[in-house]
Amino acid sequence: MVVGCFRITTRKARELRVSIDLTRCAGYGNCVDAAEAVFEMSDVDDIAVVLLAEPGPDLWESVRKAARVCPANAIVIDEADE
């Protein structure tokens, strides 16, 4: 199932990659509030940047939350079995 710009899978993922679609990011900062270990706001531009492109499983739920609360649907999550 695809919702916004992130993918939700029903199987257990072994790997999660996260990125930001910079053409969509409007600098709201909701992702930083939801997952500050993974995202931060750029000092140069009013956009978010990814600190951890492949966060560990302990951060996956906060990354998914960040994608859900992004009003611009700019967070892209790729979950893979391998």
Residue ranges of domains in the chain: 2-80
Residue 2 has pLDDT above 80, yes or no: no
pLDDT classification of 3: cutoffs 50, 70, 90:
very low
Taking the model in full, what pTM does it have?
0.80
Burial 1-40 (b: 16+ CB within 10 A, else e): eeebbbeeeeeebeebbbebeeebbeebebbbebbeebbe
HSE-up (13 A, CA, CB side) for residue 78: 8
The CATH code that applies to domain 2-80 is: 3.30.70.20
pLDDT classification of 82: cutoffs 50, 70, 90:
low
